[in-house]
Amino acid sequence: MEGMLIAAGCCFGISAIMYIVSCNEECEAEILSSVTPVRKLKELGELIGNKTSSLLVAVSGKVGSTTAIVCKRSGVLAVSLTEEAELVFRTKIEEAGDEKKENSQEILRNHSFSTCEWKQESEKITISRKTVPWFLEDDTGQVNVVGFHPSYRRGDLETYVFDEPVNELFQRVLHLKGVKIVRHTVSEEVFKIGTPLSFFAKAFRDTDGTLTIQRTNQLSLEYFQHFRDDKSIDKLVSSLRSASKESFNVSVFFQTVGAVLCAIYVVHRIYIQLGEKRQFYLKDC
């Protein structure tokens, strides 16, 4: 019966966790419901006015910058660039003994190579990362953006892949070490100028009075990935409130189960004690 107490403790623990989850979801729903949709960026200046406090808004526009990066290979203009090289190569397998030979053959069968002496591998290396200041703009105005990294919305990034020859000296050194180059590619992951973008942000005026929007810590990062337009706000709020109710119901369920298990344990202990007392009285008689 001691295991029943442990099970009850686990139920109470799960109940507490789900209650906290429910509260967090309800809190985020309240924050989202307070968001002010901004359909044109010129409206943002009117909403902020000369206020010193910030305002939680949902904004849309296109990515722009006065110091855009010119990507060397693709020629694309971007505000963020990550260059990555991938080297695909084959290494010779040493055949020392029957056991190692069997392992080598197993590796080669898994990789479906035409020869039985080489295995294929690959290595990725980040060459460089660049990011420049950028802003959000539409046909009515623009606003500076800070604290928002392109990686928050990976779906808005574009990747270009280029086959490039390996440096001759480097290839010769690798060949001497028993390595054969299969393929060498360089990729550019870019956040392009002109990319349509919609997200939640904290809008305010900086010390110079410039209108600025910044990522808010009031909301989870996932909402920067899911928000696409004004209509999605109501859907997110509804979804969060529904999830909050479900989490609360789960919390109540586990709390009830825990209470029932505790009650069963208490009744069982009382029954045992009564039985022991009865036997004690019968012996005295």
Dump pLDDT digits (tens) for 203-258. 888 888 788 888 777 665 555 545 555 567 778 888 889 999 999 999 999 999 99
Residue 235 lies inside a defined structural domain of this protein:
no
Higher pLDDT, 225 or 198: 198
Contact 201, 213 (CB under 8 A): yes
Q: Identify whether residues 120 and 160 lie together within a single domain.
A: yes
pLDDT confidence tier of residue 281, bands split at 50, 70 and 90: low
Segment 71-75 shows an average pLDDT of: 91
Predicted local confidence at residue 98, as pLDDT: 47
Higher pLDDT, 188 or 88: 188
Higher pLDDT, 125 or 115: 125
Token pair, residue 51, equals 């206020």
Residue (of 71, 55, 81) closest to 143 by Cα position: 55
Token pair, residue 230, equals 């004004």
Q: Residue 21 and residue 40: Cα distance in Å, rounded? A: 35
pLDDT higher than 50, residue 115: no
Predicted local confidence at residue 257, as pLDDT: 93
Q: Identify whether residues 64 and 131 lie together within a single domain.
A: yes
Q: Identify whether residues 67 and 129 lie together within a single domain.
A: yes
Residue (of 147, 17, 128, 116) closest to 72 by Cα position: 128
Q: Identify whether residues 156 and 210 lie together within a single domain.
A: yes
Q: Could you tell me the residue range of the domain that residue 199 belongs to?
A: 40-229
Residue 32 lies inside a defined structural domain of this protein:
no
Residue 76 lies inside a defined structural domain of this protein:
yes
Contacts by 155-160, CB closer than 8 A, 24 or more apart: 155/225, 156/191, 156/195, 156/197, 157/80, 157/189, 157/190, 157/191, 158/76, 158/189, 158/190, 158/192, 159/187, 159/188, 159/189, 159/190, 160/71, 160/73, 160/74, 160/76, 160/187, 160/188, 160/190
Please count the structural domains in the chain: 2
pLDDT higher than 50, residue 119: yes
pLDDT higher than 50, residue 93: yes
pLDDT confidence tier of residue 79, bands split at 50, 70 and 90: very high
Q: Residue 262 and residue 10: Cα distance in Å, rounded? A: 12
Residue 33 lies inside a defined structural domain of this protein:
no
